[in-house]
Amino acid sequence: MRACRFHEYGGPEVLSVESVDRPDPGPDELLVSVGATSVNPVDTYIREGAYEPASLPWIPGSDLAGTVAAVGADVSAFQPGDRVFGTGIGLDRPGGAAEYALVPTDRVARLPETLSLAEGAALALVGATAWRALIGVCKLEPAERVLIHGGSGGVGHLAVQIAAAAGARVTATAAPAYHDAVREFGADTVLDYERRDLADAVVAAGRPDVVLDHRADEYLDCDARVAAQGARIGVIGNETSDAQFVDVPRWRAKGLAVHHVSLYNEPAIDAVLDRLARLAADGELRPRVARRYALDEVPDAHRDVLADSVCGKLVVEV
C-alpha cells in the first residue's frame, strides 16, 4: 500500500510517500480503507518530535474516514463495507495518511450518509475536541452563554455548531472575512478578534458562562475579565509554552475554573464520535472542507495548516 511517512523528525520535507506492507487487524481492530484524513497542528508537532510517536519511521494523521476492509477476530459491531470515521491515532499507532490504517473499535464510529468521507475526516479530531471541551468538561447547558475564540478554525467552526445545537447563546471571534460563515454556523454575535475593545464587545454581547480558548497565552487575561461569575474555561491550545494567569485575584473572586483539554485523555472517543454522527445525521452539524490535497501533497498541507488562515479544515484525500 502507499503511505506517507517520515524517518526522522524535521520540517515538512521529511515526509514522503512510500510503498509499505498492508497491516492485518488485531482482535479488536478494524482495517480501514482510508478515503480521507485531515491535517491538524498536532500532526506537525508529532512530525517535529515535540510529541514522540511510538517508533520511526512513522505514518502521520490523527484521524480518518473510510470503509471497513476487514475486522479483527473479536469485532462484532462492525463489518466490511461499513463507512466509518475515527480519531485518536497517529501517536501511539500509525495514522491515517495511508491507503489503509488500523483503528481500535473504541476510536471509531459509523459515518452518517449525510457526510462525505472528506467531511468525515474533517469532523473526527476537531469535532471530538470541541465536544470534549464544551460538553464533556465544561458542561455547557442550554441557554448559557459561550465565547468561542477562533470560530472559523478547525475546532472553532464545529464548536460554534455544537454550542448552537446545545441551545447556548454563542459569541465567536473570527477575521472579518469569515464573519458571515461563522454566523451561518450558528453564532449569535461575531467579533473581529483584532479589535482593541474586544473585551468590552464580549461583555456587551453577554458575559459568557463557558469559554473555549485556543490561544491561552494570548487570551486568558481577557477571558477572566469578560467571564461570568463561576465560568468554566476550556483551554485547547496556546502559541507559546508559557500560558499564565495574569490576574490571580480576579480569577479567585469570580471562582473561575480552567480545564486544559486534550482528546488523548478522552476515555470514550467512540461515544463522542457517535454523538457527533447523530448531530450530522440530523443536519445540525456540518464540517467545512476548506482545501483538499492528494497523498503526495501532505507536506504542502503540513505547511499550510500553520501558515494560512482558512475557514474549516484541510483534508487529504487518499
Looking at the fold, whether 78 and 117 belong to one and the same domain comes out as yes
- What pTM did the predictor assign? 0.94
Give the model's confidence band at 312: pLDDT under 50 very low, under 70 low, under 90 confident, else very high.
very high
Describe the crossing of helices 198-205 and 216-226 by its angle, rounded to 10 degrees: 50
Looking at the fold, whether 176 and 147 belong to one and the same domain comes out as yes
Average pLDDT across the chain, whole number: 94
How many domains is the chain partitioned into structurally?
A: 2
- pLDDT tens readout for residues 134-164: 999 999 999 999 999 999 999 999 999 999 9
pLDDT of the residue at 245? 54
pLDDT of the residue at 241? 54
Looking at the fold, whether 137 and 162 belong to one and the same domain comes out as yes
Looking at the fold, whether 259 and 131 belong to one and the same domain comes out as yes
Query: Does residue 242 have a pLDDT over 60?
Result: no
Looking at the fold, whether 178 and 218 belong to one and the same domain comes out as yes
Among 237, 263, 289, identify where a domain stops. 263
Looking at the fold, whether 109 and 159 belong to one and the same domain comes out as no
Looking at the fold, whether 175 and 89 belong to one and the same domain comes out as no
| Residue 103 structural domain | 2-125+268-317
Measured distance between the N- and C-terminal CA atoms of the chain, rounded to whole angstroms: 11
Looking at the fold, whether 239 and 181 belong to one and the same domain comes out as yes
What's the CATH number where 132 sits? 3.90.180.10
Better-scored residue on pLDDT, 86 or 246? 86
Looking at the fold, whether 256 and 307 belong to one and the same domain comes out as no
pLDDT of the residue at 217? 73
Looking at the fold, whether 276 and 197 belong to one and the same domain comes out as no
- pLDDT tens readout for residues 88-134: 999 999 999 999 999 999 999 999 999 999 999 999 999 999 999 99
Among 245, 263, 281, identify where a domain stops. 263
Looking at the fold, whether 148 and 235 belong to one and the same domain comes out as yes
Looking at the fold, whether 30 and 138 belong to one and the same domain comes out as no
Q: Count Cα atoms within 13 angstroms, Cβ side, for 13.
A: 0
Query: Does residue 35 have a pLDDT over 60?
Result: yes
CA distances from 278 to 3, 73, 272, 283 (A): 31, 28, 10, 9
- pLDDT tens readout for residues 168-217: 999 999 999 999 999 999 999 999 999 999 999 999 999 999 999 988 77
For the ranges 3-17, 21-35, 176-190, 224-238, the lowest mean pLDDT is seen at 224-238
